[in-house]
Amino acid sequence: MRHWHWLIEWDTPSLGHIKAVKRVVYSGRSKYQDIMVIETYEYGVALVLDGKTQSTEADEFIYHEALVHPAMILHGAPRKILILGGGEGATLREALKYGSVGKAVMVDIDEEVIRVSREYMEFMSRGAFEDKRVNLVIGDALDYVFNTSEAFDVIIADLSDPIAEGPSYKLYTREFYAKVNNILSPNGVFVTQATSPTNTPETHAVIYNTVRSVFAKTAYYHIFIPSFEALWGFVIASKTLDPRGLNPKDVDETLARHGVKTRFYDSTAHAHMFSVPRNLREFIEGETRISTFDNPVYMPA
Amino acid sequence: MRHWHWLIEWDTPSLGHIKAVKRVVYSGRSKYQDIMVIETYEYGVALVLDGKTQSTEADEFIYHEALVHPAMILHGAPRKILILGGGEGATLREALKYGSVGKAVMVDIDEEVIRVSREYMEFMSRGAFEDKRVNLVIGDALDYVFNTSEAFDVIIADLSDPIAEGPSYKLYTREFYAKVNNILSPNGVFVTQATSPTNTPETHAVIYNTVRSVFAKTAYYHIFIPSFEALWGFVIASKTLDPRGLNPKDVDETLARHGVKTRFYDSTAHAHMFSVPRNLREFIEGETRISTFDNPVYMPA
Amino acid sequence: MRHWHWLIEWDTPSLGHIKAVKRVVYSGRSKYQDIMVIETYEYGVALVLDGKTQSTEADEFIYHEALVHPAMILHGAPRKILILGGGEGATLREALKYGSVGKAVMVDIDEEVIRVSREYMEFMSRGAFEDKRVNLVIGDALDYVFNTSEAFDVIIADLSDPIAEGPSYKLYTREFYAKVNNILSPNGVFVTQATSPTNTPETHAVIYNTVRSVFAKTAYYHIFIPSFEALWGFVIASKTLDPRGLNPKDVDETLARHGVKTRFYDSTAHAHMFSVPRNLREFIEGETRISTFDNPVYMPA
Amino acid sequence: MRHWHWLIEWDTPSLGHIKAVKRVVYSGRSKYQDIMVIETYEYGVALVLDGKTQSTEADEFIYHEALVHPAMILHGAPRKILILGGGEGATLREALKYGSVGKAVMVDIDEEVIRVSREYMEFMSRGAFEDKRVNLVIGDALDYVFNTSEAFDVIIADLSDPIAEGPSYKLYTREFYAKVNNILSPNGVFVTQATSPTNTPETHAVIYNTVRSVFAKTAYYHIFIPSFEALWGFVIASKTLDPRGLNPKDVDETLARHGVKTRFYDSTAHAHMFSVPRNLREFIEGETRISTFDNPVYMPA
């Protein structure tokens, strides 16, 4: 029996990924986006927003460990953390693994994604939303960052991509990063998802260059996500701590000290992610544009 | 205008890559396989054998540099090399960049792939087939390896995947690797493409484990190929030289000493490829099966 | 924005229809089949069973009018009718338009299809299930036909296709038709959906030939269903009344006499459907096989 | 082995037909369009222009018989005929079956389509281009019709669809039809393909209404083409002869008189095609727009 029910995720009008749907677990629309939870044949249950796979049961650990741990490890002993976006709750789950964390604020605009994730994908948050250290704010990350008077040790941006008509493009601008810099504690670390360095290399490079225009210490890194069938990129930054100077060996020691268990991330994975091959390195470092409120850089539609 | 002409490359019956065809450059059948040369929108001209993209104008340098250079560098001063498969001529092109090479034997079974590549994709071989050091043999790699009385410093297997009814599965067995070991010079290095560690992780792991059952020194490594939308894996081996012991800094020095220009490969790319994240590392090293003539391990059909 | 959510209905492994899903209205599984109700861009809300479109808001009237009215008109004044299958309720709706009908028995095995249709596609039954003349039986059509002691003026088979492992193939055999013949009143008329004369011409022809082996008077006819992107076939039969002898002009008169309103069906549509072009006519009438319990004829899988 | 090489013919951005390509027979571009000749699994060799299937080995007889014979039969004894378009040569082939025809002018703008059809699809023309009665003109049908001083008994328009930027939209306007009317002999008959009455019902209806605004006697008719998975429509017209008045019985007699052999067309097929069901009839006859040079009606893109 051939499959009849499919998702096609388009990278461009001439390139896509075609994936059979085993079962529709949930399907609906929030104020902000189309939300589907489907069961796939290869990756288990998957969250799909506006037709784009966000996270799957089989490999969400790779994305979320890659996003969260380098920043936490670079800081070394984070106490207050801020998560922007991250509706599934898996970014929160990873951050809460550090016993040093006493307070975690999570700000997400779409309550419906959180509700659907908690109801149909418990494997994402695994109780994180019930943790007493968590303060969940339903609202706009931009508003929160511009209005808070608190300071954070680690700020993690797990936001939707900067698309032209989308709600997120301001969250990838110099103005926003300047404000993030202001609310970081002196040794604070900021990390953001930074789109795919191979699917949208210009967007990735502009995000890096924009972060670099604000923070003293920066690095870009990436990892392959099987269910995206693509590399995914991140940009990490700090006023004081150099992410390029992190000794891979310290990674394993710091993880052990905090008692943090990982499946993907360790010193070798860290070396892998931060060792960017020549062609990508030259492309990213050659970028000169900076995204601003007045002159934002969008992803190709 | 929507695209109407498409290739769908299937990873499984429920997962594939859909890519528009801009132009059919060549389409035909050899004795062994269906051969298409197409122009794509994202990757320029591409060679597609039996519906699988082999190499594209845009990113063939990544695959071919990743396949060839670690083995050449590990040896340090290869004089005689043997290439099994590699019909496009790009593997040969990369190997001939080393001035130390005095003789390069290339054995490929499908003369038609070579002819089509030379006629329609000159960017692949860029004159390599005209190089006086080259001895091109049209024939079966298995026969060649079992019958030659020569010894080689570097042997590079750029063969089609080990599929059940296919012509190549014997070229991934212990018996074959034992014979390869025999025709290596004392400090000789062998490298083989080893399928995708994420699409076909079991096949990749069995190839590694089979190589490991024969050679004293071995390593596995991988790199992301954009046009495959997948990681691609390799296994490297030697009687005497440990690929895991290669200092990344030596990579840049050896490339410079030979005057070899690369676009992707350098010491950082080497570190990236050989630093395999924890989950893949544990999967690959946990494999216990060995592929043999009598009990071969195939790729899932 | 390109569509990402698709159904592909396969006619064969190399031919299909690809249709974007606007919205998933309902998705679930009954004991018998996968049930989806989707909103499409072209055809409004559609019922899809095991990946096959059954009926859509935009054009269900064509299929249901074509199935029901020729048999009702041929009889002229049906009082008791039997519907086998027809879970959506639209076949029932059309049959109840005839004021002469005093009793309508509908037998469908899948209660879930009826429930979902009533809840999410009220436009199908439009109150038919609430009609006091209706006796709804949840059960196997085969059992009902073999065990009833009643006689019917019109029997309408609106059943799933005769596929190899499916629940319906016995409902297209000589034994079944012989039993149907027995429970028809003297001027009774039987009609059955008979698969597509162009997608599965052999199955269509065998159904006709099997009906012809049992009934004295028979005809085959077909109509194009836009949402199927295919012709759909029917076979009509009677002991005494010749469907080929029905004067198209009588069609309009009988419809008017009963006060039956139609959108598609009238004397011209009748002439269209019963005038089968030469190539199809010769193919269908050349068929010699008969489907039986012991030697059933299946649709190609 | 799953198929990897596909054509997707789009009816709309959310609806298409997906068909595997068995073999590329020819692929190229003329001055006017993209030309492919492919072998399919279901329909044999097919001509595909700009991604749209024009004719296939398996069922081109249906389209070409439906286009040509009603007009030839209605006239009864055509001597001079004019074919506009029809590059494959199959329309010409059907028209030449009538012994009464002494001269057939065919005007097609794309010499390359004719060349490719003759070389790779000989089953289309079957020698028609070598017939001494034929005068082949490479040129624009509009120019020919506006400049010829000849009169024709039957004029057959087998042209590409009226798309917005396309070369053909003027060939579906009142001005063009007025000129066609002028070059018809007193009992002359004109017939044109008229797009699909179900895929593009408005275009079909406007073509009919535009023809109706010029000619005294007109009719529309349609037939299902399996490889199009759609109904295809035609409009037929004359100054004096009423196509609606043609007695189906005369069809068989006239065919026999001329010794014309057909596979699809006969009196029953004629009755089928000209008996248009109520819903389509009401839609088509309700159209009030007329396409003109200044205010053309295009197909939806």
Could A40 and B14 be called an inter-chain contact, meaning their C-beta atoms sit closer than 8 Å?
Answer: yes
pTM of the complete model: 0.95
Count of domains forming chain C = 2
Residue of chain B whose Cα is closest to the Cα of D52: B4
Tens of pLDDT along C219-248? Answer: 999 999 999 999 999 999 999 999 999 988
Could C2 and A24 be called an inter-chain contact, meaning their C-beta atoms sit closer than 8 Å?
Answer: no
Window 40-69 of B, Cβ < 8 Å to D: 50-52
What is the pLDDT at residue D301? 65
Whether A286 contacts chain B with CB within 8 A? no
Residue A299 forms part of a structural domain: no
- Kindly list the strands in the beta sheet with C217-225, ordered across the sheet, starting from the edge strand earlier in the chain: C134-138, C103-108, C80-85, C152-158, C184-193, C230-238, C217-225
Tens of pLDDT along A105-157? Answer: 999 999 999 999 999 999 999 999 999 999 999 999 999 999 999 999 999 99
Residue A21 forms part of a structural domain: yes
Average predicted confidence (pLDDT) for chain A: 96
B81 within 8 A of B154, measured Cβ to Cβ? yes
Could A17 and B19 be called an inter-chain contact, meaning their C-beta atoms sit closer than 8 Å?
Answer: no
**Which structural domain, as residue segments, surrounds residue B115?**
60-285
What is the pLDDT at residue C222? 98
CB neighbourhood size of C52 (10 A)? 16
CB < 8 Å to C12, chain D: 41-42
The question of whether B59 is a catalytic residue gets the answer no
> Which tokens belong to C242?
């010749």
Task: Provide the H-helix boundaries in chain C.
Answer: 60-75, 90-95, 111-120, 122-125, 141-147, 174-182, 201-212, 248-258, 267-274, 278-285
Co-location of A153 and A214 in the same domain:
yes
Please state, for a pLDDT cut of 90, what percent of chain C lies above it: 95
Task: Give the span between the Cα atoms of B156 and B71, in whole angstroms.
Answer: 8
pLDDT for D263 beyond 80: yes
What is the pLDDT at residue C127? 97
Please state, for a pLDDT cut of 90, what percent of chain A lies above it: 95
Co-location of C79 and C43 in the same domain:
no
- Mean pLDDT, to the nearest integer, of C133-161? 97
What is the pLDDT at residue B301? 65
Amino acid at position D294, single letter? D
Reduced to 3 states (helix: H, G, I; strand: E, B; else coil), residue A92 is helix
What is the pLDDT at residue D1? 59
> Of B143, B158, B242, B294, which one is the catalytic site residue?
B158
Co-location of C202 and C252 in the same domain:
yes
Whether B37 contacts chain D with CB within 8 A? no
Whether D8 contacts chain B with CB within 8 A? yes
Please state, for a pLDDT cut of 90, what percent of chain B lies above it: 95
Which chains neighbour D (Cβ–Cβ under 8 Å, 3 or more pairs)?
A: B, C
Could B2 and D9 be called an inter-chain contact, meaning their C-beta atoms sit closer than 8 Å?
Answer: no
D108 within 8 A of D88, measured Cβ to Cβ? no
Name which of D246, D275, D280, D283 to mutate to probe chain C: the one with the most chain C Cβ atoms within 10 A of its Cβ.
D275
Residue of chain C whose Cα is closest to the Cα of A165: C1
Please state, for a pLDDT cut of 90, what percent of chain D lies above it: 95
Q: How far is B19 from chain A, CA to nearest CA, in Å?
A: 5
Any idea of the CA torsion for C119, C125, C128, C134, to the nearest 10 degrees? -90
Q: Which residues of chain B have pLDDT under 50?
A: none
Task: Please count the residues of chain A.
Answer: 301
Catalytic residues of A: 158
What is the pLDDT at residue B165? 75
Higher pLDDT, C164 or C158: C158
What angle, rounded to 10 degrees, do the helices at A267-274 and A60-75 form? 90
Co-location of D107 and D144 in the same domain:
yes
Residue B298 forms part of a structural domain: no
Average predicted confidence (pLDDT) for chain D: 96
What pLDDT band is residue D68 in, cutting at 50, 70 and 90? very high
Tens of pLDDT along A82-102? Answer: 999 999 999 999 999 999 999
Phi, psi dihedral angles at B275 (to 5 degrees)? -95, 90
Whether A263 contacts chain B with CB within 8 A? yes
What is the pLDDT at residue B2? 87
Task: Give the span between the Cα atoms of B149 and B155, in whole angstroms.
Answer: 14
* DSSP-assigned beta bridge partners for residue D133: none
| CATH number, domain containing residue B41 | 2.30.140.10
Whether A6 contacts chain C with CB within 8 A? yes
- Mean pLDDT, to the nearest integer, of D89-111? 98
CB < 8 Å to B4, chain D: 7-10, 50-52
Closest of C127, C126, C152, C125 to residue C141, by C-alpha: C152
Residue A292 forms part of a structural domain: no
Co-location of C199 and C99 in the same domain:
yes
Could D51 and B24 be called an inter-chain contact, meaning their C-beta atoms sit closer than 8 Å?
Answer: no
Residue A294 forms part of a structural domain: no
What pLDDT band is residue C301 in, cutting at 50, 70 and 90? low
Co-location of D30 and D133 in the same domain:
no
What is the pLDDT at residue D16? 96
Q: How far is B170 from chain A, CA to nearest CA, in Å?
A: 29
| CATH number, domain containing residue B222 | 3.40.50.150
Residue in D231, D265, D275 nearest the CB of C278: D265
Residue C296 forms part of a structural domain: no
Task: Give the span between the Cα atoms of A150 and A135, in whole angstroms.
Answer: 13
Task: Give the span between the Cα atoms of B248 and B2, in whole angstroms.
Answer: 47
DSSP B27: E
CB < 8 Å to D6, chain B: 5-8
DSSP D299: B
Tens of pLDDT along C164-223? Answer: 877 789 999 999 999 999 999 999 999 999 999 999 999 999 999 999 999 999 999 999
Co-location of A50 and A96 in the same domain:
no
Co-location of A249 and A123 in the same domain:
yes
Q: Which of D41, D56, D71 is the last residue in one of the domains?
A: D56
> Of D158, D161, D266, D294, which one is the catalytic site residue?
D158
Residue of chain B whose Cα is closest to the Cα of A17: B17
- Mean pLDDT, to the nearest integer, of D280-295? 97
Co-location of B64 and B42 in the same domain:
no
Residue C181 forms part of a structural domain: yes
Residue C113 forms part of a structural domain: yes
What is the pLDDT at residue B1? 59
> Which tokens belong to D139?
């040129």
Whether B165 contacts chain D with CB within 8 A? no
CB < 8 Å to B278, chain A: 262-266, 268-269
pLDDT for C1 beyond 70: no
What is the pLDDT at residue D102? 98
Q: How far is C279 from chain D, CA to nearest CA, in Å?
A: 5
What pLDDT band is residue A201 in, cutting at 50, 70 and 90? very high
What pLDDT band is residue D248 in, cutting at 50, 70 and 90? confident
CB < 8 Å to D24, chain B: 24, 27, 36
Closest of A52, B1, C6 to residue D18, by C-alpha: C6
B197 within 8 A of B284, measured Cβ to Cβ? yes
Ranges of beta strands (E only) in chain B are 5-12, 15-29, 34-40, 45-49, 52-56, 80-85, 103-108, 134-138, 152-158, 184-193, 217-225, 230-238
Name which of D1, D8, D15, D40 to mutate to probe chain C: the one with the most chain C Cβ atoms within 10 A of its Cβ.
D15
Co-location of B35 and B145 in the same domain:
no
What is the pLDDT at residue B7? 97
B6 within 8 A of B19, measured Cβ to Cβ? yes
What is the pLDDT at residue A1? 59
CB < 8 Å to D266, chain C: 277-278
What pLDDT band is residue A298 in, cutting at 50, 70 and 90? confident
> Which tokens belong to B286?
């946990």
What is the pLDDT at residue D165? 75
Co-location of A46 and A82 in the same domain:
no
Residue in C4, C7, C27 nearest the CB of A51: C4
pLDDT for A165 beyond 80: no
Co-location of A94 and A204 in the same domain:
yes
What pLDDT band is residue C249 in, cutting at 50, 70 and 90? confident
Whether C139 contacts chain D with CB within 8 A? no
